[in-house]
Structure 1
Amino acid sequence: MQASKKSEFLALYQEFSEDYPLTEKGKEHVSAYSKHRQQGQQNYREVEAVAARGEDITDLVLLKWIPYSDTPANREREVWIHHAPCVTGDLVKKSENNGNTVDWAETAKTIFQFVKHCNDNPADLETACQNYETSPHSKGFQTGYLTPILNALRPDDFLLINSKSQRSINYFTNSNYSTKIANYPQINDAERQLVNSIASDMRAIWDSELRDDDQFDIFCHWLTAIKKHTLKPPKYWKISPGDGAWQWDECRDNGFIALGFSELMDVSNLSQQEFNVQRDKIINQYPELNWNKDGGVNQVWKFSQISEGDRIVANRGISEVVGIGTVTGAYYYQHDAEKQRHRLPVHWDDTTVRSFNFPKGWVKTLIPLNANRFSDILQAPKIQEGMTLMGKGDVSIQPPNETYTLTQCSKDTYIDEALLHSWVSATNRKKQAILYGPPGTGKTYLAQRLARHLLSEGDGCKEIVQFHPAYTYEDFIEGIRPKQGENGGLDYPVVAGQFINFCEKARKRQDTCVLIIDEINRANLAQVFGELMYLMEYRDHEVTLPSGRTFSIPNNVRILGTMNTADRSIALVDHALRRRFAFLPLYPNLLGLAQFHADTDFAVDGLIQVLTDVNQSIGDLQYQLGTSFFLQKSLKDDLQAIWQMEIEPYLEEYFFDQPDKVKQFRWDAIKTQLQA
């Protein structure tokens, strides 16, 4: 999604979260997803059982697999009531009244075969869609009719696509997908990629009980059916909130942007010709205003024509952006305002101050922007809190963090980029994750690289803390620390722990901040975390700590833990804690070992075979021997020392009661194979 589209999406999603989910209809809509899926699954089994007996399934398919609206008549007919209906009344009668001749038995059979094919072979979706599309009995039954039942059966594989979601996907991805079944595999993938890219942003605004794709679906319903967005591309405008942005605080706090030339009075009902007459009348009547027919006064007409959904960039001078917003209504004239009476209502989505050098000649109050310029502004560097203008538009700016893409991370860690993407998405969704696996799998190394990616190009910070058996709540959250007082006695102040201090730093940053907790399971987690157990699940809440201080976790904080499963099994971690983290498994990566040594003088095949034999003998995934011991350029020279001083002691401990197994993996027993 382009930066400008993403900014618009986030503004609309914020508006949606405040407007719809907490209404009675919104609550009903939220609860409907699970209920209608369960009913759809039951309907599928019912029809499948009838078909297996060789009985007629025509009516059942048309009534139980097609989504109907919730009406008294439909409830009485016991059809499948669904939150995304395609049929209001009697499907067969409607078709007959329209003069259509339909072989309903063959149509139902075609639908049955298609849905069953998809359910039994989800990976074969494209073939199923092609076969269905070529059938003469598929006419009229496209994605809106058929994807609700597919989604009920396999929500992870098949997303619900109807005209609402189709139009929204096309709008936000600049695509042109249709609602035909033949196009379903492509739009299904497109929505999945779109939702993955915005899931963490949606959760940060409204973290509901729904799946990520359901959150997007209910947003699409609101956007098209309730807000009635035209889904046409917005226009972009730079508007200065007064010279030197003198009116910015008022505009930001009260949700508007304004222009001067108040003597023109209200222009909302004027045609452009009538506006010109009014303008000329004022110019002739008040020459002291020094207005020019070709000058700034004409900006008022452009201003009055700006549409709901258009984007506004508020600037200060020629080097600062102070706010970015979305127009939420029509132009109005504020009669009782002292100045700047021509106004537009604006929801200010982003009030981060940014450095942006506008081109010369952009000193006018109102200037149209193109989409590329708007995207450049969205990505302009942020001016950190407390920093001030140094001179003629020059800004002292802390450089953003270095760029570190997932492609670079994949290259550095030898882990598939798609898998890394899913892990990053999970981390942003849950806001805390644990990398777990046996020793030597590179958990801490990967945590550092994932943190580096999460911080990429932002102003966020990173810290690392090592947990151990003696680590306490007082170390992590807060506790009493005795210190010598002024008169030689002892004082007992309450001192913030590492996590509190980290969160205070994060509050001063705009972007993601990452705390890495190494060996997280070596401490008593329930005791160390305390109230954090609650806050990790409810990020928008705050709690009162024992000291009386109120505390909450900033939304931009991510926690990455590492857990050695050979030290303590994941099964021993408190269940309440486990459900607050995403758990990311990391096991020996023999392919990565081979890739690393492709550029060294060490022949790695023998080592890979020995490690495979060792891990087969261990026979427990959580205790297998990792590869990070051997990821060094000088391995040829150091291998014997590594094996005898690091690998053998580990095997002696694991096979403490099976000395013969240790013996078969001693250096003298395997060195020939390793050095081959």
Structure 2
Amino acid sequence: MTDVTLVKGVRELSADDLDIGYTHRAQVSHGSSAPDAPMLHSDDPRLETILRLLRRFGGVIFSGPPGTGKSWLAGQVADKITEGDDSRRADIQFHASYQFEDFIEGYRPKSDGSGFEPRDGVFLRLVREANKHPDDDYVIVIDELSRADVGRVFGEALTYIERSKRGQTFVLPSGEQCSIPLNLHLIATMNPLDRGVDEVDAAFERRFAKVDMPPSRDLLEKLLDDNGFLDETVRRRFLGWFNKINARSVQTPAAAIGHAYFVNVVDPETLQEVWDYQLKYHVDRAFKYDPETRTEIINGWADIFAASADQEMPAPDETESA
């Protein structure tokens, strides 16, 4: 091996220094769990459909199991709407402790510790900005919508996010008047198995459009093609396994596995890593009370990498020469 000596004063640059590394991709993904995923093209039919729904409804909910690209698509659509201007966008994640005070308005401690002061939540801040700049589009992306008590979080605003009620004035608990403009768009994601889904459906069924995002073999095949996955035998068996476990999700909804789990799979080794560090735990949990099916799914995965009959048997000429 030849030693390489750097000339004094030469600066070493990492991939992230050049804005091409993982950190940069994670930043531009706006919270997507797949920062290496490709960008959404302007001519993608999904984009046209979602933009049309946003013009007709108070917002759009992407609903599907983990790994179907919900957060990625929400972030990509938001980027298109705001033309990449982060000042016109907010990304938040709901959780069990998320409250009206976080989202709309409430009292928060002063920075100097001298007491509390009223402070706008993320929603009200963007409402104010959107009202100031009616010619610009603003977006709020809510990840895991069903993880919070949506009725309590939205409060009075729940009524006025309807498209037909945009621009109408209502009064907040603080006594301040508010109106939600048409140029503020809401995009949300949720897992249909979350405990809060019934509350979301009841609150948003007339207000938001819902877009189902199930696991897709076609999108998975495209990912493998784009990643240059060349082992045809492993590929064929893996796609069969993918179909099989998602077919099981009809009886066991928690078993569904999205195609986005495999966004970084380029060869059999990286495919096996997805199983070792993610999927095997998913399978154990989904079939916790069905050990027979769990064993079947686990053995099916192992069969993906088993040597084919042709590989196991020696060629005729090799047998004769022996």
Same fold? TM cut 0.5: yes
Among 118, 124, 129, the alignment partner of 1:494 is 118
Residue 613 in structure 1 maps to residue 244 in structure 2: yes
Equivalent residues of 2:127, 2:181 under 8 A apart? yes
Tell me the equivalent position of 2:141. Answer: 516
What pairs up with 1:369-408 in 2 under 5 angstroms?
none
Give the % identical residues: 29
Question: Any runs of at least 4 consecutive aligned residues in structure 1 with deviations exceeding 6 A, and if so which?
Answer: 457-460
Deviation at residue 459 of structure 1 after TM alignment: 9.7
How far apart, CA to CA, are the structure 2 residues paired with 1:459 and 1:651?
38
1:138-185 per-position Cα deviation (integer Å, ceiling 9, x unaligned): xxxxxxxxxxxxxxxxxxxxxxxxxxxxxxxxxxxxxxxxxxxxxxxx
Helix, strand or coil at the partner of 1:464: strand
Partner AA of 1:609 in structure 2: G
Bigger mean CA offset, 562-571 vs 538-547: 562-571
How far apart, CA to CA, are the structure 2 residues paired with 1:615 and 1:462?
35
Among 601, 625, 631, the alignment partner of 2:229 is 601
Equivalent residues of 1:477, 1:498 under 8 A apart? yes
How far apart, CA to CA, are the structure 2 residues paired with 1:587 and 1:621?
14
Residue 629 in structure 1 maps to residue 261 in structure 2: yes
1:291-327 per-position Cα deviation (integer Å, ceiling 9, x unaligned): xxxxxxxxxxxxxxxxxxxxxxxxxxxxxxxxxxxxx
What pairs up with 1:204-283 in 2 under 5 angstroms?
none
Partner AA of 1:630 in structure 2: F
Partner AA of 2:59 in structure 1: Q
1:98-136 per-position Cα deviation (integer Å, ceiling 9, x unaligned): xxxxxxxxxxxxxxxxxxxxxxxxxxxxxxxxxxxxxxx
Equivalent residues of 1:521, 1:563 under 8 A apart? yes
How far apart, CA to CA, are the structure 2 residues paired with 1:426 and 1:484?
41
Tell me the equivalent position of 1:664. Answer: 296
Tell me the equivalent position of 2:304. Answer: 673
How far apart, CA to CA, are the structure 2 residues paired with 1:416 and 1:438?
26
Deviation at residue 605 of structure 1 after TM alignment: 2.5
Equivalent residues of 1:652, 1:662 under 8 A apart? yes
What pairs up with 1:120-519 in 2 under 5 angstroms?
412=39, 417-456=44-83, 461-483=88-110, 490-509=114-133, 510-519=135-144
Equivalent residues of 2:59, 2:185 under 8 A apart? yes
Partner AA of 2:127 in structure 1: C
Larger C-alpha radius of gyration, 1 or 2?
1
Distance 1:602 1:663, change over 3 A: farther
RMSD: 2.8
Helix, strand or coil at the partner of 1:664: helix
Helix, strand or coil at the partner of 1:495: strand
Tell me the equivalent position of 2:272. Answer: 640
Q: Number of residues paired by the alignment?
A: 262
Equivalent residues of 2:215, 2:246 under 8 A apart? no
How far apart, CA to CA, are the structure 1 residues paired with 2:279 and 2:85?
40
How far apart, CA to CA, are the structure 1 residues paired with 2:252 and 2:45?
23
Among 541, 553, 559, the alignment partner of 2:168 is 541
Helix, strand or coil at the partner of 1:470: coil
Tell me the equivalent position of 1:551. Answer: 178
Equivalent residues of 2:147, 2:196 under 8 A apart? no
Distance 1:561 1:635, change over 3 A: farther
Tell me the equivalent position of 2:188. Answer: 561
Partner AA of 1:492 in structure 2: F
Distance 1:527 1:448, change over 3 A: same
Deviation at residue 413 of structure 1 after TM alignment: 5.6
1:339-361 per-position Cα deviation (integer Å, ceiling 9, x unaligned): xxxxxxxxxxxxxxxxxxxxxxx
Deviation at residue 419 of structure 1 after TM alignment: 4.6
Equivalent residues of 1:439, 1:566 under 8 A apart? no
Tell me the equivalent position of 2:152. Answer: 527
Deviation at residue 503 of structure 1 after TM alignment: 1.9
Helix, strand or coil at the partner of 1:433: strand
Equivalent residues of 2:265, 2:271 under 8 A apart? no
Distance 1:635 1:429, change over 3 A: farther
Unaligned runs of 5+ in 1: 1-410
Equivalent residues of 2:148, 2:196 under 8 A apart? no
Helix, strand or coil at the partner of 1:428: helix
Equivalent residues of 1:440, 1:629 under 8 A apart? yes
Unaligned runs of 5+ in 2: 1-37, 309-322
Distance 1:501 1:588, change over 3 A: same
1:253-301 per-position Cα deviation (integer Å, ceiling 9, x unaligned): xxxxxxxxxxxxxxxxxxxxxxxxxxxxxxxxxxxxxxxxxxxxxxxxx
Distance 1:578 1:595, change over 3 A: same
Deviation at residue 506 of structure 1 after TM alignment: 2.4
What pairs up with 1:78-89 in 2 under 5 angstroms?
none
Deviation at residue 566 of structure 1 after TM alignment: 2.8
Deviation at residue 436 of structure 1 after TM alignment: 0.5
Distance 1:638 1:484, change over 3 A: closer
1:551-586 per-position Cα deviation (integer Å, ceiling 9, x unaligned): 111221000000011334744425132211111111
**Comparing both chains, which one has the higher relative contact order based on Cα–Cα distances under 8 Å and sequence gaps of 6 or more?**
2
Tell me the equivalent position of 2:14. Answer: none
Distance 1:539 1:595, change over 3 A: same
Helix, strand or coil at the partner of 1:573: helix
How far apart, CA to CA, are the structure 1 residues paired with 2:214 and 2:296?
23
Q: TM-score, normalised by structure 2?
A: 0.73
Equivalent residues of 1:648, 1:662 under 8 A apart? no
Distance 1:508 1:602, change over 3 A: farther
Deviation at residue 611 of structure 1 after TM alignment: 0.8
Equivalent residues of 1:460, 1:512 under 8 A apart? no
How far apart, CA to CA, are the structure 1 residues paired with 2:207 and 2:244?
36
